[in-house]
Chains A and B, each alone.
Chain A
Amino acid sequence: MSEEKDFNATLKKLKRLAYFAGFLFILVQIGALFLLYDPELTLLRTGKGSIVTEVKLDEDRIENGIHVRTGLIDAKGLMNVVTNCTNCHSAKLVIQNRMNEERWNATIFWMQKTQNLWDLGSNQKIIVDYLVSNYPVKETGRRSMLTNIKWYELEN
């Protein structure tokens, strides 16, 4: 009898263990799914409130080292460039140009002479330093190789 009792008790224990294991398994699965869709666990951290806080995202927030609003690299002098250089034209115009210090200064002078750019004062050096260090001149010679070729099967 006591043997049977013991057996039943063990069975119960085992059952509980099995349920627990099953539950744990499901929990892990949910966790995995959650991680898959929200690897930064933003929902877990802040719940519904997070959406509200996200709506009021900082205009000048930085993601992966880039100032999201303008696409400019986050580095010393960024905000001086944003405030002085993106009023009239897009930051895209800045980013696609590669110039040395002398030519950036000449460009600023030209913008002041002809395009209503204001006197930049002490900001000028900060801006030019930012530009030459973050967007340096690339030497491409008289003809560069074809790069970024996306190969595809041509159906003739």
Chain B
Amino acid sequence: MNRRKFIKKTALTSFTALIGAEIVFGNHMISGYQPLALQKPDPFKLFQKDKQMVILNDKPWNIEAKAHLLDDKITPNNYMFIRNNGIIPKEIDIKNWTLTIDGESVVNKKTYTLAGLKSKFKHHTYQLTLECGGNGRSEFTPPAKGNQWTIGAVSCASWTGIRLKDVLEDAGIKNNAVYIGYHSADTHLSGDPKKEPISRGAPMIKALQDETLLAFQMNGKDIPLAHGYPLRLVAGGWPASVSGKWVERISIRNKVHDGTKMTGTAYRVPCNPVAPGEKVKDEDMCIIESMPVKSLITYPKSGALIKKKETLKIRGHAWAGELEVSKMETSIDFGVTWQKCIIEKPSNRLGWQHFSANIRFPKKGYYEVWARATDMLGKTQPMLLPGWNPKGYLNNACHRIAIKVK
């Protein structure tokens, strides 16, 4: 009896150990790690991002997607990259949120409430491609300083708001206006209240485009906090840093805006081509405007194993900054031959375009499907990296996925 009891007890303990181990130790781990675990909130929950998103940086927050996560025609929030330069504003009081239009070249400095903006000006919705100027930076050699984006710092959501030009014209634009610059509610990483984390802008010609919005909605809902709630400037086709988040003030400048990250080497590339690693003086760096032609294969995910007789359906998106993509091709032989794809028209100007193709593989083995877009001016994506630049911007080299045919 004693022995049986003993065995029974032992067995029970063993099972408890078996089943309970994770929970028991988990509890201890959590209490042990609490000071750390609680320091940093779960970003996936915090920003409602998919768990497959990649966190490059947590102070400031920089999170990117993977190619296969960007398969949706309209990018949902959970797959949208986050690129922040400073600390996200903490308390947003939308009742007292105002937008001020000022600057050397404004006729009348004006301040609008959020409700005022929404009721006074006509609403417009556009699907706009926003790509970080440094998307693809990780591939440059010698490496460039900054967040090492691979391919996922691009999105194309649907943005609803008012035209920036309607507001600028309401305040009045002087003839000597050159540029607009935004000022936002985010705070500097150092905590210095006198420093702006980022204050960029665009020349008047971009500011006055129909598609340049002061947006208050993304995909039909309030903009998520990490993406600029309650008001975001959205300038599709240009480096996404032009699309200032949490905008409180827009200055109409009589010169090129000189805010943080407008000067020096930020969001600039050498005016003339340079050798890899070459030093470039600040005055020889030129501001990036329209982003170059580029594309992504979003289906299937890289690494697909298929059977020999199967046709592989692929799809993805292509975009070309200010321009439209006019041709899309794929190659399964490292560029020896290219096959044309079907490429759709964009839903509106500055929206990305969807492409698709059916690919047949002649024999079994390892393949890479390379995708190459060409814009309406005949400019094509390079297979190798484009010109090296000190900050690693504008890598529009062809995207490729690995396929094995069995």
Contacts and interface: CB of A to CB of B under 8 A. Distances in A.
Interface in A3-55: 19, 26, 29-30, 33-34, 37, 51, 54-55
B145 A153 contact: no
Contacts of A120: none
Interface string B308-323: 0011110000000000
Given A140-B139, A149-B402, A116 B145 contact: no
Contacts of B139: 140, 143-144
B348 interface: no
Interface in B291-339: 300-306, 310-313
Nearest to A146: B402
A123 interface: no
B141 A150 contact: no
Nearest to A117: B190
Instruction: Name B's interface SS.
Output: mixed
Interface residues of B, number: 58
B146 A97 contact: yes
B372 to A, nearest CB: 14
A25 to B, nearest CB: 11
A93 B57 contact: yes
Contacts of B31: 51, 54-55
A78 interface: no
Nearest to A116: B190
A150 B143 contact: no
A139 B141 contact: yes
B21 A37 contact: yes
Interface residues of A, number: 46
A3 to B, nearest CB: 30
Contacts of B10: 26, 29-30
B108 interface: no
B300 A154 contact: yes
B147 A93 contact: yes
B148 interface: yes
Given A26-B7, A54-B28, A69 B36 contact: yes
Contact of B305 (A51, A107, A153): A153
B378 interface: no
Nearest to A26: B10
Contacts of B345: none
A26 B31 CA distance: 33
B141 A142 contact: yes
Instruction: Name A's interface SS.
Output: loop
Contact of A151 (B6, B148, B383, B404): B404
B32 A55 contact: yes
Nearest to B55: A92
A139 B141 CA distance: 6
Contacts of B13: 30
Given A115-B190, A146-B302, A92 B56 contact: yes
Contacts of B404: 151
Contact of A143 (B14, B143, B304, B383): B383
A126 interface: no
A98 interface: yes
Interface in B383-406: 383-385, 397, 400-402, 404
Q: Which residue among A29, A90, A114, A152 has the maximum number of chain B CB atoms within 10 Å of its CB?
A: A90
B59 interface: yes
Contact of A33 (B7, B17, B313): B17
28 contacts: A26-B6, A26-B7, A30-B14, A33-B14, A54-B31, A57-B35, A88-B59, A90-B57, A90-B58, A96-B57, A96-B138, A96-B147, A97-B143, A114-B264, A138-B141, A139-B141, A140-B139, A142-B141, A143-B385, A143-B397, A146-B368, A146-B402, A150-B303, A151-B304, A151-B404, A152-B303, A152-B305, A154-B312
